[in-house]
Amino acid sequence: MTPKQIELVQSTWAMVVPIVDTAADLFYGNLFEMDPTLRPIFPEDMTEQKKKLMAMLGTAVNGLNNLDSIIGAVKASGVRHVDYKVTASMYDTVGAALLKTLEQGLGDAWNDEVKEAWTVTYTTLASVMIGAADEHLKANA
Ligand code: HEM
């Protein structure tokens, strides 16, 4: 990731923070519209889940300048996602739902450069989570 991309992700995330509850509603609306079969793996009451996802995204975004500081937490989350019955292909759908949500939430601030910066951010997080999940599954095979 380039410093410019980090800056773009952090500055656009700062625009999402004031509307974080709306963004969370939009995100899960997009996700379950894109793939309704994902709904049953989440709790019926999504209130806590929405807060947790947004808090984790905030931590990750703020940690982009120092990836070493967040890598342990991201790996641990990837391993926990195995217990939630999350598989690698689901990460693509979640990534698409996240990008769509940012596009909706950011309005005029959304452009190709911002999209690329968020794509790199999400892909990096997802590959660390999937990698840790794979290692965990192999170690316990
Ligand atoms: C970068 C990607 C992701 C991030 C940052 C993220 C973040 C989180 C966080 C912070 C939690 C709270 C519990 C914990 O930390 O263990 C959580 C739980 C969960 N996530 Fe994710 N997640 C990601 C990808 C996914 C994907 C791809 C799926 C599949 C659809 C998914 C489904 C779930 C489910 C089902 C739970 C548990 C809900 C419950 O039973 O309470 N997540 N996620």
CATH number at residue 20: 1.10.490.10
Q: Residue 129, CB half-sphere, CA atoms under 13 Å: how many?
A: 26
Domain-located, residue 41: no
Q: Where are the alpha helices (DSSP H) in the chain?
A: 3-16, 20-34, 47-62, 68-83, 88-106, 112-139
Domain-located, residue 10: yes
- pLDDT value for 12: 98
Range of the domain at 97: 3-36+46-139
Report the residue among 28, 77, 121, 136 best suited for mutation to probe ligand 1: largest number of ligand atoms under 8 A from its CB.
Answer: 77
Q: From ligand 1's centre to the CA of 82, what distance in Å?
A: 10
Domain-located, residue 83: yes
- pLDDT value for 141: 81
- Split into its structural domains, the chain has a count of 1
Domain-located, residue 55: yes
3-state secondary structure (DSSP) of residue 72: helix
User: What is the model's pTM?
Assistant: 0.95
Q: Is the CB of 86 under 6 A from ligand 1?
A: yes
Q: Is the CB of 57 under 6 A from ligand 1?
A: yes
pLDDT along the chain (141 residues), means of 10: 95 95 96 98 94 92 92 95 95 98 96 98 96 94 81
